[in-house]
Every structure is written in C-alpha cells, then in structure tokens.
Amino acid sequence: MINCIEYKGYIGTVEYCDEDNIFHGKVMDIPKSLILYHGDNLESLKKDFHEAVDFYLSCCDEKNESPVDSNYCGNLADIQIPPTIHMMLYSYSETHNKTPSQTVEEALTKYMMA
C-alpha cells in the first residue's frame, strides 16, 4: 500500500525509512522533474512537501513556463473494461443503490488498501 498526500492538485508519496528513521517522498507525475521531500515526522514531511510544490511552481513562474498539471483529476476516461464487466458494474450498482462511480471507487479502495 502506498500512502499519499495532496497539495494544490499534486500528489506525493509518503514512505518511511527505518534505517534513517525519517519520512520521505516524491511528487508524482511531473516528467523531467524529480521533486523530493522529507521530514522527521508526518507534520514536517507535509510542510516540506508543500514547500517543494510551492518551489516548483515558483521556478515555473520565474522561467515563464506552465507547470505540469497533475494527471490525477479523478477521471479515468482512458480505462477500458470488457463489456461483460461493464454490464455487471451497472447491474451491481443499480441493485446496491449506488452510482457506477461509487462502486468503482469502493472496489478500488478495498483492492488498494488490502
């Protein structure tokens, strides 16, 4: 399981290194840039993550470049599933009084947290 944090639309990983006794992570989904951060505890990790994202955005501004938008907008339009699974998704959702999006979110959450 990967733990994540979010700030200004950017997603960062949260990992712990037993050997160094430190939390660390990286901003995901920004090609050509490796943005790392760390902290002695979760609060300092979050603070460093926020500062890293703000620094990235200020560098883009100084260079008059557009920052990379995160691809994690919550829209999975490029995901393809077999028609039978699609039908089962809608049938399950209807019988459980949920939208297909709610069903998919629930299933992915259970799968990713296992």
- The H-assigned helical ranges of 1-114 are 42-62, 83-95, 100-113
Q: What is the tens place of the pLDDT at every residue in 64-112? A: 988 887 666 677 777 888 889 888 988 898 999 988 888 888 898 888 8
What kind and span of H or E run contains 28? none
Q: How far is it, in rounded angstroms, from Cα 93 to Cα 10? A: 30
Q: Token pair for residue 2?
A: 């990967």
Residue 114 has pLDDT above 90, yes or no: no
| The pLDDT of residue 59 | 93
Q: How far is it, in rounded angstroms, from Cα 98 to Cα 42? A: 35
The residue whose two tokens read 């840039």 is 33
Q: What is the tens place of the pLDDT at every residue in 47-67? A: 999 999 999 999 999 999 888
